Amino acid sequence: MNLDSKIPSGPISEKWTKHQFDSKLVNPANRRKFNLIVVGSGLAGASASAALAELGYNVKTMCIHDSPRRAHSIAAQGGINAAKNYQNDGDSIYRLFYDTIKGGDFRSREANVYRLAQNSVKIIDHCVALGVPFAREYGGLLANRSFGGAQVSRTFYARGQTGQQLLLGAYSAMMRQVDSKKIELLNFREMLDLVLIDGKARGVICRNVLTGEIESHAADAVVLATGGYGNVFYLSTNAKWSNATAIWRAHRRGAAFGNPCFTQIHPTCIPVSGDYQSKLTLMSESLRNDGRVWVPKDANDTRTPDQIPEEDRDYYLERIYPSFGNLAPRDIASRQAKFVCDEGRGVGSTKLAVYLDFAAAIKRDGQDVIAGKYGNLFQMYEKITGDDPYKVPMRIFPAVHYTMGGLWVDYNLQSTIPGLHVLGEANFSDHGANRLGASALMQGLADGYFVIPSTLAHYLGSTKLDKIDTNHEAFKEAQANVQSGISRLMNIKGNKTADELHRKLGKLMWDNCGMERSEQSLKKLLEEIPKLRDEFWNDLRIPGEAASLNQELERAGRVADFIDLGELMARDAMERRESCGGHFRTEFQTPDNEAQRDDENFCHVAVWEHQGEGKAAKRHIESLNFENIKLATRSYK
């Protein structure tokens, strides 16, 4: 398998500029001859669609919703990082690069991350120009706050709705191109297969979810921006429709999967309240700017929080990580929350929660100031739990939030299939083994607005693409493949709902491949998943017909893919015999319970190649070379 990362030569700060100069271009008059498909309309997909259409390409953009603006980027709360150094606190492109590499526990590519930090600056400028209402100071200039894993304030925000506002910016840019007919918007479409001709990605098969019709769409290149796969765990902060089907089906067609086991568990989510729970809600990391995390010192302390005096509280993050305090990175903060709960010091009825307390901040700044910063989050918390966080500390617990793994891509964001580019959370790049807060929005928009326009032009300008249409044999084969997959699901006629089986998968994954993993737990998981797969294919029930709106059918197809992906995650976690970032193998930890990396044997990306139905995927590696930042044990103490 060819895993050439195509990292340009030269000093890190000049690689991207040099690469852009060395890349082929497509002249403006020729761009209209190329047809592109973008699947997904979140930050990465919408920004890519807009930027490519602005350049003159013909773009078809697909989304599963009625409107492209409903993609789950809309729910991102806290903010977006950019190395503007507007705060004069010593920030720079190099520092953002450094923080991101370190935050990712030295498991990402230096060149990609440096480019991300460079582009971060332009993202803010462009979003402001699009009319994104970022928070402002009284002087009219942009405001910033801090996020985990950084000692500078470089996070730009729009109240607790930054993702919404950035997505609406990208969506508006995209809708402008819809109006000028450079983008054809295909809403209510779910991609179910990728079409390859002569080894190149030349189109997709999708299902119109309203009519059940299976459609073929041909193109010169395909861009996937379909987000992450956190819903493998059933309960996560992802939206209910977030799924891995597009990337998984591309994987089955030959796109290699990078680091599938790298999952981010976010430390501050609203705890589970019952068996009916359908998803988990995040409480933005930005709250840790002012909220203090604590539990009682004594596991037997049954007093209400207001009755527990200072000396009986353990502000464990401040105690263990004095220099970063409550803003320790997510993987670390999550693990510490688990440790204190394992010690029996958790709070609330389930004892699976810790306090996030704003009393000190409210006393210091006043309730109005706190409400101005986090009002909508406090309101959301109250709606869900019935508690008022201005009076009672929030109760929070870690939950699955983001997946750093994804389809493997080179520096051009091209997968191992020529012509298939993968952007945003759907690819594996940039965040290593742990993503820092406010960096997902940055990556999605950097990929879409600034990277793909250059790298896709290079592909189109340097590749011989035969004229094809959807009458080609490959489309017929893929259509038949999709049809038979749907019939197979419809004909199981068992007794269990897709949701029921999905919950089962989620519990297996969370218990055995969640916040911590061990050889033993993974072994168990690898025994259980095939059983669950059998159960799924023998006992699933989908009422109704395939040729109409059928939400059970949609769900079932996604769960089938989650089961297979879950198995790959388990195998990847098993093979990575070290701990790094969010991947915590209990066998590999330092005496003070921090992740212990093994740089000698695992300083690489694990890249999995599909070997055919029923066969185990093959593991390859892409070595990671650190030329600028010295590999070091991560410390936030």
Whether 35 contacts 60, CB under 8 Å: yes
Instruction: Report, in Å, the least distance between residue 139 CB and other proteins.
Output: 7
Q: Which stretch binds other proteins (CB under 8 A): 130-138, 198-206, 255-263, 570-578?
A: 130-138
Comparing C-alpha atoms, which of 84, 90, 262, 115 is closest to residue 628?
115
Per CB under 8 A, does 32 bind other proteins? no
3-state percent breakdown (helix, strand, coil) of the chain, nearest 5: 40, 15, 40
Instruction: Pick from 3, 212, 215, 241 the residue near other proteins by CB under 8 A.
Output: 241
Instruction: Pick from 6, 32, 33, 136 the residue near other proteins by CB under 8 A.
Output: 136
In eight-state DSSP terms, residue 418 is T
- Asked if 571 is an active-site residue, the reply is no
Per CB under 8 A, does 495 bind other proteins? yes
Which conformational region is residue 108 in: left (phi greater than 0), alpha (psi within -120 to 50 degrees), or beta?
Answer: beta
Comparing C-alpha atoms, which of 216, 201, 211 is closest to residue 480?
216
Structure tokens at 393: 């500390």
Residue 406 CB: number of other CB atoms within 10 A?
Answer: 31
Instruction: Pick from 11, 17, 198, 210 the residue near other proteins by CB under 8 A.
Output: 210
CA 543, 546, 549, 553 dihedral sign is: positive
Comparing C-alpha atoms, which of 65, 72, 71 is closest to residue 210?
65
Question: What string of H, E and C letters represents the secondary structure of 92-151?
Answer: CHHHHHHHHHHHCCCCCCHHHHHHHHHHHHHHHHHHHHCCCCCCECCCCCECCECCCCCC
- Nearer to other proteins by Cβ, of 349 and 471: the residue is 349
Per CB under 8 A, does 548 bind other proteins? yes
Instruction: Report, in Å, the least distance between residue 499 CB and other proteins.
Output: 6
Instruction: Pick from 13, 35, 87, 350 the residue near other proteins by CB under 8 A.
Output: 350
Binding residue count for other proteins, defined by CB under 8 A? 89
- Nearer to other proteins by Cβ, of 264 and 579: the residue is 264
- Nearer to other proteins by Cβ, of 181 and 630: the residue is 181
Comparing C-alpha atoms, which of 570, 568, 594 is closest to residue 582?
594
Instruction: Report, in Å, the least distance between residue 370 CB and other proteins.
Output: 16
DSSP states of 497-513 as a string? -HHHHHHHHHHHHHHHH
> Residues 457, 459, 461, 464: what is their CA dihedral angle, to the nearest 10 degrees?
-150
Instruction: Pick from 172, 518, 593, 628 the residue near other proteins by CB under 8 A.
Output: 172
- Nearer to other proteins by Cβ, of 84 and 145: the residue is 84
Per CB under 8 A, does 387 bind other proteins? yes
- Nearer to other proteins by Cβ, of 258 and 346: the residue is 346
Per CB under 8 A, does 388 bind other proteins? no
- Nearer to other proteins by Cβ, of 115 and 159: the residue is 159
Q: Which stretch binds other proteins (CB under 8 A): 223-231, 315-323, 380-388, 479-487?
A: 380-388
In eight-state DSSP terms, residue 595 is B
Instruction: Report, in Å, the least distance between residue 589 CB and other proteins.
Output: 31
Per CB under 8 A, does 614 bind other proteins? no
> 145, 249, 330, 585: which one is catalytic?
330
Q: CA 578, CA 602: separation in Å to the nearest integer?
A: 7
- Nearer to other proteins by Cβ, of 103 and 444: the residue is 444
Whether 3 contacts 622, CB under 8 Å: yes
Instruction: Report, in Å, the least distance between residue 607 CB and other proteins.
Output: 31
Instruction: Report, in Å, the least distance between residue 543 CB and other proteins.
Output: 5
Comparing C-alpha atoms, which of 393, 406, 445, 440 is closest to residue 77?
440
Q: CA 23, CA 612: separation in Å to the nearest integer?
A: 34
Instruction: Report, in Å, the least distance between residue 117 CB and other proteins.
Output: 16
Instruction: Report, in Å, the least distance between residue 165 CB and other proteins.
Output: 6
Binding mask 36-65 for other proteins (x = CB under 8 A): -----------x--xx--x----------x
Which residue carries 């973008």 as its tokens? 38
Instruction: Report, in Å, the least distance between residue 631 CB and other proteins.
Output: 34
Q: Which stretch binds other proteins (CB under 8 A): 17-25, 238-246, 404-412, 595-603?
A: 238-246
- Nearer to other proteins by Cβ, of 50 and 332: the residue is 50
Beta strands (DSSP E) in 198-248 are 200-208, 214-218, 221-224
- Collapsing DSSP to helix, strand or coil, 251 comes out as helix
Beta strands (DSSP E) in 459-596 are none
Q: Which stretch binds other proteins (CB under 8 A): 331-339, 376-384, 517-525, 565-573?
A: 376-384
Q: CA 191, CA 37: separation in Å to the nearest integer?
A: 11
Q: CA 165, CA 169: separation in Å to the nearest integer?
A: 6
Per CB under 8 A, does 457 bind other proteins? no
Binding mask 62-91 for other proteins (x = CB under 8 A): ---xxxxxxxx-xx--------x-x-----
Instruction: Pick from 89, 365, 477, 499 the residue near other proteins by CB under 8 A.
Output: 499
Q: CA 610, CA 498: separation in Å to the nearest integer?
A: 25
Q: Which stretch binds other proteins (CB under 8 A): 89-97, 129-137, 361-369, 459-467?
A: 129-137
Whether 496 contacts 533, CB under 8 Å: no
Instruction: Report, in Å, the least distance between residue 223 CB and other proteins.
Output: 15
Q: Hey, which residues between 190 and 209 contact other proteins (CB under 8 A)?
A: none
Q: Hey, which residues between 550 and 589 contact other proteins (CB under 8 A)?
A: 551-552
Instruction: Pick from 114, 171, 324, 374 the residue near other proteins by CB under 8 A.
Output: 171
Active-site positions read 330
